[in-house]
Amino acid sequence: MTPDRWIVTIAGIGLVAFIIWFFWLKRSTGARATETSGGYQEAMILVKGGYTPDTIVVRSGRPVRLNFRREETASCSDKVIFPDFQKSADLPTGETVAVELMPKEPGEFGFSCPMGMFRGRLVVE
């Protein structure tokens, strides 16, 4: 192999390694929902290219209110779905939409847009 081939090959493999590390080997610790006087565990989630924060930590047995605010117009994210809770909500751009859930048992419950491009987790302790 000629030197230019070596350089390009090494660069390409390095790029592949970077993609694997960047997209697949991420760990997010998550944000803990704050408790309100009304007994709700509340968290604000920004919907823009993804969910920020994408991991919400709550305690079981108490109602959870997640306030989604969508600040983009891409059609994929116009809805959020909690398959484990059989719940979904429309997210009009620029409006804050509250989704209320009652996690009874500890565990990890995913939520996503209908196409599954945006994903988040609700961690119930």
Partner 1 sequence: MNMRTEAAIPDSQSGGLPTGRESITLRIGGMTCAHCPPAIEKAVREVTGVKTVSVNLATQTAKVGYDPAQAKVSEILRAIRSVGYAVGTATMRIPIKNMHCTSCATRVELALKMTPGVIAARASLAPNAVDIEYQPERTDFQELRRSIESSGYRLAEPKVKPTDETLDPAEAANEQEYRSLMRKFWIAAVISLPVMAFSYPDLIPGLRDWMPMGSDTRRIVWALLGVLSLPVLLWSGSQFFVGMWDALKHRAANMHTLIAIGITAAFLYSVVAVAWPGIFPDMALAEVFWDVTDVVVALVVLGLALEIKAKGRTSQAIKKLIGLQAKTARVVRDGKEIDLPVEEVLVNDTVIVRPGEKIPVDGKVSVGSSAVDESMITGESMPVEKQTGDEVIGGTLNKTGSFRFTATKVGKDTALASIIRMVKDAQGSKAPIQRVVDTVSGYFVPAVMIVAILAALVWYDFGPEPRLIYATVILVTTLIIACPCALGLATPTSLTVGIGKGAENGILIRSGDALQAAEKLDAVILDKTGTITKGEPALTDVVVTPGHEENAVLRLTASLERGSEHPLASAIVKGAEARKIELADAEGFAAIPGHGVSGRIDGHDVLFGNAKLLRDRGVPADALLPQWERLANEGKTPMYVAVDGRAAGLIAVADTVKPDSRAAIEILKGLGIEVVMLTGDNERTGRAIAREVGIDRVLAEVLPDDKAHEVQKLQLEGKSVGMVGDGVNDAPALAQADVGFAIGTGTDVAIEASDVTLIKGSLMGVVTAIEISRATMRNVRQNLVGAFGYNALGIPVAAGVLYPFIGLLLSPLIAAAAMAFSSVTVVTNANRLRFFQPRRTGS
- Contacts to partner 1 by CB under 8 A: 1, 5, 8-9, 12-13, 15-16, 19-20, 22-24, 26, 48-52, 54, 72-76, 78-79, 81, 83, 86-90, 92-93, 95-96, 112, 114-119
CB of 65 to partner 1, least distance (A): 16
- Identify each DSSP E strand in the chain by its residue range: 31-32, 34-35, 41-47, 51-52, 55-58, 64-70, 79-82, 87-90, 96-101, 107-112, 119-124
Nearest of 105, 125, 104 to residue 56 by alpha carbon: 125
CB of 112 to partner 1, least distance (A): 7
Nearer to partner 1, 96 or 125 (CB): 96
CB of 63 to partner 1, least distance (A): 12
Token digits of residue 44: 């604000």
